[in-house]
Amino acid sequence: MSAFEGYNGQAFSPSGDKGRFVLPPAFRKAVKESGEGAKTLCLAVHDRFDCLIGFGLSRIPELHAKLDKEEERAIQMKDFDWGRDVRAQQLFGFEQLPFDDSGRFVMPDHLRDLGNVGDGLYFHGAGDFFFIWNPEELARMDRSFRGAQVTCKKLMAEAEAKAKAKGGKK
């Protein structure tokens, strides 16, 4: 097993049968490496954007350290409004979802609702985690997301062309 080096790259995955999605190969490999071989995808709602984030099990100790660091900073800054319980529920409110060898997983309805999930998902690496966007939500973002928006459109068009080619061969 190679060492986990973070999440990078982009991919599009149309929704499959029975409400399943497929974790794209590059992301599937990184999630498994992060979890020392475990096929467990952690999914959470992004705290600022209308999308989801995904990561592997190795991020859990990092989240504990982040929480402790934020608490130390709040104490130093005398930020009495900062609440460990509130921040902990934000950081640890993720779901752990199993996926099979092909990367198929079932997304719970509450995450589908919170992430405004539609008929397909755009995956975009962000180092410690990856974004999972409904393409329509991504299209509404400002110019700072332009690269992701253009890539998403291209990958969606490729997926649509591939689906049409498969359908035409029947």
Residue 71: inside a domain: yes
Place of tokens 């460990």: 84
When divided into structural domains, the chain yields a total of 1
Q: How far apart are CA 152 and CA 154, in angstroms?
A: 5
- 73, burial (CB in 10 Å: exposed 0-12, middle 13-18, buried 19+): exposed
CATH classification at residue 38 = 3.40.1550.20
pLDDT digits (tens, 9 = 90+) for 24-53: 999 999 999 999 899 999 999 998 999 999
| 125 alpha-carbon distance from chain centroid | 8
Residue 2 pLDDT class (50, 70, 90 cuts): low
Residue 53: inside a domain: yes
Q: Measured over all CA atoms, what is the biggest interatomic distance in the chain, rounded to whole angstroms?
A: 67
Q: How far apart are CA 25 and CA 150, in angstroms?
A: 21
Residue 5: inside a domain: no
- CA distances 97 to 26, 43, 59, 70, 164, Å, are 17, 8, 15, 27, 31
Domain that holds residue 41: 10-168
Whether 121 and 132 have beta carbons less than 8 Å apart is answered as yes
Residue 2: inside a domain: no
Q: Report which DSSP code applies to 10.
A: E
Residue 170 pLDDT class (50, 70, 90 cuts): very low
